[in-house]
Amino acid sequence: MAARFVDNSCDTTRQLLQLYQSGDLSDLILKVGQRKFKTHRLILCVASDVFRTMLMSDMWPEGRSRKVVLCEDAECEAAFDCFLTYIYSGQVELRKDNVLPLLTLADKYNVPRLAASCIDYMKASCCPETVCNVFSWLHYAIMCGYREVEQRCTQFMACNFDRVIKTFEFSSIAPEVLKMFLEHPHLTVSSEYHLYLAVKRWLLHYFSLTGNTDAKMFHHFMSQINFPLMQFSEILKLEKEIVPEFESFYLKTVFSFLRYQKGAEKIAPKSAQETFKEREWCIPRIYPTETWSTDMVIDNVLQLREGEVRGAFFSTPLNYADSELGMHQDWHVMFYPRGVVYQSCQMIGIPRNIINPGGEFHTVRLALSTECQQRQKFKISVLIYSVYSDGPEYVYCVKSTDAIFDKDCSLFNFDGIIPYDEVLASHSPFRIGDSIKMKIVIRPLAVKTNVAS
What are the DSSP calls for 89-106, one per residue?
HS-----TTTHHHHHHHH
How much is the pTM?
Answer: 0.88
Whether 380 and 396 have beta carbons less than 8 Å apart is answered as no
Strand partners, 200: none
Structure letter (DSSP) for residue 266:
G
What are the residue boundaries of the structural domains of the chain, listed by start? 10-124, 293-345+353-445
So what's the pLDDT on residue 59? Answer: 79
Residue 11 pLDDT greater than 50, yes or no: yes
Better-scored residue on pLDDT, 65 or 170: 170
CA distance 381 to 398: 7
Residue 258: band (very low, low, confident or very high) from pLDDT cuts 50, 70, 90: confident
Q: Each residue of 432-448: pLDDT tens digit? A: 999 999 999 999 986 54
What Cα–Cα distance (Å) separates residue 17 from each residue in 22, 41, 86?
9, 15, 9
Q: Decide if pLDDT at 345 tops 90.
A: no
Q: CA gyration radius for the chain?
A: 29
Q: Give residue 325's pLDDT band: very low, low, confident or very high (50, 70, 90).
A: low
**Which of 241-250, 315-324, 404-413 is the most confident on average?**
404-413
State the chain's mean pLDDT as an integer. 88
Alpha-carbon dihedral sign for residues 116, 121, 126, 130: negative
Residues 434 and 427 sit within 8 Å (Cβ to Cβ):
no
Torsion angle of C-alpha atoms 193, 221, 283, 316, degrees rounded to 10: -10
**Residues 310 and 298 sit within 8 Å (Cβ to Cβ):** yes
Q: Would you say residue 263 has pLDDT above 70? A: no
Cβ atoms of 185 and 400 within 8 Å: the answer is: yes
pLDDT (average), residues 193-207: 96
Q: Which residues pair with 111 in a beta bridge?
A: none
Q: What percent of the chain has pLDDT over 70?
A: 89
* Dihedral pair phi/psi, residue 72, rounded to 5°: -130, 160
At 268 the pLDDT is: 38
Confidence (pLDDT) at 349: 67
The answer to whether 10-124 and 293-345+353-445 have equal CATH topology is: no
Per-residue model confidence (pLDDT) at position 235: 87
Candidate CATH numbers 3.40.50.300, 3.90.1300.10, 2.60.210.10, 3.10.350.10; the one for domain 293-345+353-445: 2.60.210.10
**pLDDT surpassing 60 at residue 275:** no
Residue 436, Cβ density class (10 Å: 0-12 exposed, 13-18 middle, ≥19 buried):
buried
Positive or negative, the Cα torsion across 383, 313, 279, 245?
Answer: negative
Q: Burial-class residue 402 by CB neighbours within 10 Å (0-12, 13-18, 19+).
A: exposed
With cut-offs at 50, 70 and 90, classify the pLDDT of residue 116: very high
- CATH number, domain 10-124, options 3.20.20.70, 3.90.79.10, 3.20.20.140, 3.30.710.10: 3.30.710.10
3-state secondary structure of 310: strand
pLDDT for position 23? 87
Residue 356: pLDDT band (50, 70, 90) is: low
122 pLDDT more than 50: yes
Residue 240 or 415, more confident:
415
Q: Give the per-residue pLDDT at 265.
A: 40
